[in-house]
Amino acid sequence: MAEDVVFTVKGELNLMAKTPVGDIKMEKIQFNFDKNFKYQTQPRILMKSMETVKATRDTIEFKGLATIINPLNVEIELRSNVEFDLLSDQNIKVANMTIENFKLKRKNEDMVVKLKYLPEYDSGHSVIQNYLNRRFSILSIKTNNQTTSVFLLQKFFEVLELKVLLPGIDALFLKEIEVSLNTKHSFTLHNPFKTKIYFFSLNSKVINIFNRQIATAIIEPRKDGIIIESGKTKKIQIDGCRKRNCK
């Protein structure tokens, strides 16, 4: 559905006009007009790829490439960064998004985007679970006090109802599973992130094609955790399923 956005343009113009009787200088010509733009209220920022840059206990930082689909018939080029809040479908902030060297062209254009994910609420956990399980999430964009220092553009961004489509991770955590006749099994975990990850506890089942559990993997909670460095894999030994524990 298309909607109208009113964008007020104000300024002052100085120019030199060439005429048959010579050059005429015109100074401080004031202008003030409103311009109506039409835009589409549907997802217009599509994240094409994301990679983890940094992770702490409070935040996870991603960097990626996004396609910005211009919903307007104008072009904007700031040559500076703009910042937005990303909201879940429950209107809860789950991340900060920074678009570097913001520019809005008439044609679709790729830009570098940084996301600082804040996993504080259940909706925030849902977003990261979707990412790790290779599923999409759709978030809404909202301006904040740091969006842009240009007053007119700040008001312009406030009336836009844009959404961001976040893809799931394009990598696998589980590389392989080894099942042997002596009931000693193992599986290999891979860390696709650019930061180390810690497994503090783990509880999983291995099920065969007959939907019968053939192995369990249980790592009790521990303070130091199992560390897997960036880009590395680690094999974890698991016990075969004893008859009384199988389902």
The confidence score (pLDDT) of residue 91 equals 81
Structural domain that includes position 84: 40-166
**What pLDDT is recorded for position 242?**
47
pLDDT at 112 over 70: yes
Nearest Cα to 210, choosing from 165, 157, 247?
A: 247
Number of domains making up the chain: 3
Whether 59 and 150 map to the same domain: the answer is yes
Distance CA 19, CA 146 (A): 47
- 132 with 241, same domain: the answer is no
Summarised one tens digit per residue, pLDDT across range 206-235 is 666 677 766 565 555 556 667 788 778 877
Distance CA 50, CA 16 (A): 50
Q: State the CB neighbour count (10 A cutoff) for residue 120.
A: 13
Per-residue pLDDT at 2 exceeds 50: no
Q: Rounded to two decimals, what is the model's pTM? A: 0.58
Per the structure block, which two tokens stand in for 31? 């202008």
Query: Do 69 and 15 have their domain in common?
Result: no
Residues 162 and 239 in one domain: no
Which of the listed residues 113, 146, 166 is the one where a domain comes to its end?
A: 166
Same domain, 182 and 217: yes
> Comparing 160 with 65, which gets the higher pLDDT?
65
Distance of CA 64 to the CA centre of its chain: 8
Residue 146 sits in the same domain as residue 197: no
Does pLDDT of 237 surpass 50? yes
72 and 101 co-located in one domain: yes
> 158 and 45: one domain?
yes
